[in-house]
Each structure stands twice: as C-alpha cells, then as structure tokens.
Amino acid sequence: MTKVVNFPVNRKKILFFVVGLSVLLFTTLPRSRVLKRDIEIDNILKKDLTKEYCIQYALITTSEGYYPCYDCLDGKIYLYIGEVWKYGKTCNGEEGRYPNGLPIKNLAFIPQFYGTEQQCLIQEKYQIYSYPLLPECQQREEVLIRPPGNKIDR
C-alpha cells in the first residue's frame, strides 16, 4: 500500500511514499520550475523535428572527486561514483556528440532513452528539471536546480 503525506518543512513540501517497509523521500519542484519546464516542452512539441533516432543520455561520474559545477559559487562540486554530472541529447551518438572524448575525465556516457529528436528533447527536460529530486542532490547542503554540468536547462 502506498501512502502519501504532505506537510511543509523549511518552505519545501515533502512527500513520503511508503512502499512495504521502504520509505522514499521526495521534495516537490517549485511551481515556477514546473511551469518553465512545461512551457519549454510545449515549444518542443510545436517544432518540426525530423530526426528519427536520437539518444537522451547522462554523463555519470566514474570516480569520486571534484568536478566543474556551473551553478556552484566556487565553480566545483564533490561528486561520488555514479552521480549525474550532466544530462543531454544527441542524434549523432556518443562519438558524434563528443568527437574528441567526453568534456572532462572520469565520466561515462550512459544512454537513458532512445527515440525521436522530439521525444529525447522532452525526456531531457524531465531529467534536468527533476534533478533536485534525486537523493544524491538532496543530501547536499545546497540543492542544485540542475545537474552540475548543465549550464542551462537544456
């Protein structure tokens, strides 16, 4: 049985999902971020995108240490193995997107979704905007609004 309990904590709404003996903790996204995401998705749906085979991917850390962070005050963040550094979309595969190799060392290109260009762009939006809900992000003192390697919401 799943039970949802809403209550405010530090101006954030916390949702507890109780599944069996497990408790999963999620914060809800601020309304302004949800509206911005939905407007961007509507704009994607209006575009005439013709590419049929694309990939929505994540760049995941393969070793722990400091990585560049575009939204951090000091420009870097400590990440553990398996954490997301960036979400992206390519219609040219890993080699086409990163012909000279990944942008920094100790990252792995992990495909997360295959589909049309439109579908992959929409999936990328959901991944980027949902980043603050990941446990890896919530455990930090400062919750980032997007992955450290995404300069903007795309």
pLDDT at 27: 61
pLDDT-above-90 percentage for the chain: 58
Partner residues linked to 115 by β-bridges = 54
What distance in Å separates the CA atoms of residue 86 and residue 38, rounded to the nearest whole number? 20
Distances (CA, A) of 118 to 40, 44, 45, 48, 152: 12, 7, 7, 9, 18
Where on the phi/psi map is residue 65: left (φ > 0), alpha (ψ -120 to 50), or beta?
Answer: left
- pLDDT > 50? residue 17: no
Q: Are 81 and 62 in contact (CB under 8 A)?
A: yes
Q: What is the pLDDT of residues 27-79, one digit of tens each?
A: 688 888 889 999 999 989 999 888 899 999 999 999 999 999 998 989 999 99
- Residue 141 confidence class, pLDDT cut points 50, 70, 90: confident
pLDDT at 129: 94
What distance in Å separates the CA atoms of residue 99 and residue 96, rounded to the nearest whole number? 5
